[in-house]
Amino acid sequence: MRNLPPIALLSLLAGLSWSCSRSDDDAESQVDPGSLTGMVWIPGGEFSMGSTEGELNEMPVHTVRVKGFWMDETEVTNAQFREFVEATGHVTLGEKDFDPEDYPDAPPETLKAGSLLFQKSDGPVPLNNHMLWWKFIPGADWRHPEGPESSIEGKDDHPVVCISWDDATAYAKWAGKRLPTEAEWEFAARGGLRNQTYAWGEEFTPSGEHQANLWQGDFPHENSAEDGFATTAPVKSFPPNGFGLYDISGNVWEFVRDWYDPDYYIRSPEFSPDGPTMEQVLDPGRRIRPGSDRRPQLATTPHKVIRGGSFLCNDCYCKGYRPSARQITDMITSTNHTGFRCVKSAPGPQGE
């Protein structure tokens, strides 16, 4: 699974009904409140997962029930991630050179420590080749998210970026938390609304007000930053959703726990789905719908799911900020538009 050069694997941009929230006072009182700072309680319930108006991988809409859980009210920030690194000495993927022995065919410059950074194009470009606006930059990592000369000074409250899925998982473990499942993430993102297109409702900019840090202007060359931010925004710059979650749409994509299967919704269980196994994702005999994503790298390398969209999302390209939108990421790339938030199961019958 690690025999292609990292750059060959870059594939990050592929192209409710809510009821039954019972009283959760019991679950709340069983958890150590000190460890729940910055988290909000997401009452379990039933919802319609997916969308009839999105991509094929959001279909079919199906009923899912999740248990209640705690979720970080914001994306994990640079300050929080620094605390983890200082406590553990963790070195992120983007700070490590790849071993040429693992990638004998790769050009050496692609094996340097670094991250994939968004680069504005000079003018309009075809939107079917994301390598026209992504570039691997050696020396770009979570402390240098715009390249080796950049820093995160003054950005303590921005979401951490240029980290990998494994880095996010390591942080979660250290914090006594975990990454959410896709189902938990989408249930939470909907904020208690039923079958709405956006986390805040059906209207994109109610009263003309931007609800999330997205991209305005012609992608990928003209970013008017009408919402106030050209790249990441400090967390809590926009109003929270109905569950009190900030930046659940836009700002940065968020890693979730599940392996990516574009056809998972035709086989998803109803109760607490937690995604396919890695073996299932790579099983050549699995059922694939006509029209579903068949890029060859999906058949040989398992990918993870990212959710929520980023400051690069816009209505002409990916609309990734919709709560139902699903995108993929590989395991060996760090980018400056992907971060994460964590969850914590509640003990007792409503938790795990």
Contacts with Cu ion by CB under 5 A lie at 313, 318, 320
Identify the sign of the CA torsion 169, 186, 181, 330: negative
275: left (phi over 0), alpha (psi -120 to 50) or beta: left
State the minimum distance, in angstroms, from the CB of residue 219 to Ca ion.
Answer: 11
State the minimum distance, in angstroms, from the CB of residue 117 to Ca ion.
Answer: 16
Tell me which of 103, 133, 229, 238 binds Ca ion, using CB under 5 A.
229
How many residues of this chain interact with Ca ion, rule: CB under 5 A? 4
From the list Cu ion, Ca ion, none, pick the one residue 213 interacts with, judged by a Cβ distance below 5 to 8 Å according to partner type. Answer: Ca ion
Question: Distance (Å, rounded) from C-alpha 77 to C-alpha 256?
Answer: 16
The two tokens of residue 183 are 């189902």
Q: Is 227 in the site for Ca ion (CB under 5 A)?
A: yes
Residue 186 — φ and ψ, nearest 5°?
A: -70, -40
| Upper half-sphere CA count for residue 178 (Cβ side, 13 Å) | 13
For residue 324, count other CB atoms closer than 10 A to its CB.
Answer: 25
State the minimum distance, in angstroms, from the CB of residue 211 to Ca ion.
Answer: 12
State the minimum distance, in angstroms, from the CB of residue 229 to Ca ion.
Answer: 4
Identify the sign of the CA torsion 299, 304, 305, 310: negative
User: Which of 213, 336 has the CB closer to Ca ion?
Assistant: 213
Identify the sign of the CA torsion 218, 224, 225, 226: negative
From the list Cu ion, Ca ion, none, pick the one residue 318 interacts with, judged by a Cβ distance below 5 to 8 Å according to partner type. Answer: Cu ion
Q: Is 167 in the site for Ca ion (CB under 5 A)?
A: no
User: Which of 187, 229 has the CB closer to Ca ion?
Assistant: 229
Per-residue b or e along 246-280, where b marks 16 or more CB atoms closer than 10 Å to that residue's CB: bbbbbbbbbbbbbbbbbbbbeebeeeebbbbeeee
User: Which of 225, 288 has the CB closer to Cu ion?
Assistant: 225
User: Which of 200, 229 has the CB closer to Ca ion?
Assistant: 229
Q: Is 301 in the site for Ca ion (CB under 5 A)?
A: no
Per-residue binder mask for Ca ion (CB under 5 A), 259-288, x = binder: ------------------------------
| Greatest CA separation for the chain | 58
β-pair partners for 134? 118
The two tokens of residue 167 are 């880095």
Q: Is 293 in the site for Ca ion (CB under 5 A)?
A: no
Burial class (CB in 10 A: 0-12, 13-18, 19+), 205: middle
Per-residue binder mask for Ca ion (CB under 5 A), 169-208, x = binder: ----------------------------------------
- Given a contact cutoff of 8 angstroms between Cβ atoms, the answer to whether 242 and 193 are in contact is yes
Q: Is 254 in the site for Ca ion (CB under 5 A)?
A: no
State the minimum distance, in angstroms, from the CB of residue 250 to Cu ion.
Answer: 9
Q: Is 238 in the site for Ca ion (CB under 5 A)?
A: no
Question: Distance (Å, rounded) from C-alpha 42 to C-alpha 273?
Answer: 16
State the minimum distance, in angstroms, from the CB of residue 214 to Cu ion.
Answer: 8
State the minimum distance, in angstroms, from the CB of residue 287 to Ca ion.
Answer: 39
| Alpha carbon 343 to its chain's center | 13
Tell me which of 213, 249, 301, 310 binds Ca ion, using CB under 5 A.
213
State the minimum distance, in angstroms, from the CB of residue 223 to Ca ion.
Answer: 7
Contacts with Ca ion by CB under 5 A lie at: 213, 227, 229, 311
